[in-house]
Structure 1
Amino acid sequence: MSTDDWLTDTRASYDTVAVSYADQLRDAIAGHQYLRAALALFAGNVRAAGGGPVADVGCGPGHVTAHLHELGVDAFGIDLSPGMIDVARRDHPGLRFEVGTMTDLDLPAASVAGVLAWQSLIHIPDDEVPSVFGHFHRALRPGGPLQLLFHVGDESRLKTQGYGGHPMKVHVHLRQPDQVATWLRDAGFEVEAQMLLDPDEKASQAFLFARRKPYR
């Protein structure tokens, strides 16, 4: 499958489920202390690195972007799906959201103080991940933090339905944290920490906390 094919399928799928997805995740952060703690840590790392604009890449309906803003972070959201961006702008009219893709991230070099990508890397095929991390590295200022959240596993599957029963056609790639950490190091990041959520459950998730290496 070409890049255009899977990007087109992913965009169309999330356009279809945008409203129901937003309704289902509206209280996700408020109800999960570890998600809140991870975002608070990220916000603190951004401030410690000097502050500045932060890109929430794959922002969906903007609930994570909005939470970062509540923590005092100058966060803006980017998402592949125009439908998701419409919902984000509707629900959070005071914040900045734009359509874009992490496979061709349209941000100037060293222009952001932090990058966050929660559950958006899961739709990127393995052979595209190094390029995506290269885009993150280019856009980040030296010393800027990167935080990833993704599903853990060793398989890829096709998701054909979700979020209110709407039809979808997206591939979901489950990965081991050590593999993702290796890709990050190869792209020039320092990996600072890993954390598993619900490690005894089948649908566990992993955080990776990394940083663009500062100039020496």
Structure 2
Amino acid sequence: MRPWLADTRASYDTVAADYAHLVRDALDPYLRSALSLFADLVEAAGGGPVADVGCGPGHVTAHLTGLGVDTFGIDLSPAMIRIARRDHPGLRFAVASMTDLPLAGASVAGLLAFWSLIHVPDDAVPGVLTHFHRVLRPGGPMLLGFHAGEGTRIKTQGYGGHPMRVHVHRRRPEQITAWLRDAGFTVTAQQLLDLDSPLPGAIVISHAGPPSRR
């Protein structure tokens, strides 16, 4: 396992319980609206299973399920998955890395990565997005949420004061959309969030194009 992946997994195993408590009711009206739109797009594309990649304790997986979407969760952290299974026993969760998704090609109708790309280094993002494109059906929607801006910092403490070691990347939306287009996605919408906060966010919606013949 690459060092940044190992650090991310160990860090979120350490903070899993406190993180789950913190985010349990963290979906504000803007995020709920984005998830509702995403659910509508999945239905418009024909419906089917949706992967919540980097699902953490499963709160967004459960929210989408409540909107009628057949959602399952994937996360790198075994501790997060144990909490997700405990708190949402009727839903499906698995431990896996977004760098090597154990999903068949064109097997999901939609994909969500809600602030789960923020610890992925720049040189690994294109490969991750290629995996996302591979597992999505042509035309399937994808919703990405991320920290907007520029720069990287190392997070050494968080969520209950526990030690962590993860790089937190802020990215300009135009960088994300460029990576998406290179991976074969068509970008359809973009929204900036919390512009006056110390850590603004952004949401980008795209759709998978046909598989590359190169």
| TM-score (structure 2 length as normaliser) | 0.97
Which runs of 4 or more aligned residues in structure 1 lie more than 2 Å from their structure 2 counterparts after TM superposition? none
Q: 1:186 aligns with which of 182, 186, 196?
A: 182
Q: 1:132 aligns with which of 128, 135, 160?
A: 128
> CA offset at residue 214 of structure 1?
4.9
Partner of 1:7: 5
Which consecutive unaligned segments of at least 5 residues does structure 2 have? none
Question: Are 2:93 and 1:90 equivalent residues in the alignment?
Answer: no
Q: Is 2:190–2:203's contact at 8 Å kept on the other side of the alignment?
A: yes
Q: 1:40 aligns with which of 32, 36, 39?
A: 36
Partner of 2:76: 80
Deviations 1:163-199 (A, max 9, x none): 0101000111110000000000000000001100011
Partner of 2:157: 161
Q: Give the number of aligned pairs.
A: 211
Q: CA RMSD in A?
A: 0.9
Partner of 1:26: 24
% same residue: 67
Partner of 1:146: 142
- Equivalent-residue separation in structure 2 for 1:5 and 1:185 (angstroms): 28
Question: Are 2:121 and 1:120 equivalent residues in the alignment?
Answer: no
**Does the residue aligned with 2:94 lie in a helix, a strand or coil?**
strand
Which consecutive unaligned segments of at least 5 residues does structure 1 have? none
| TM-score (structure 1 length as normaliser) | 0.96
Deviations 1:46-102 (A, max 9, x none): 000000000000000000000000000000000000000000000000000000011
**Does the residue aligned with 2:138 lie in a helix, a strand or coil?**
coil
**Does the residue aligned with 2:143 lie in a helix, a strand or coil?**
strand
Tell me which amino acid in the other structure corresponds to 1:211.
H
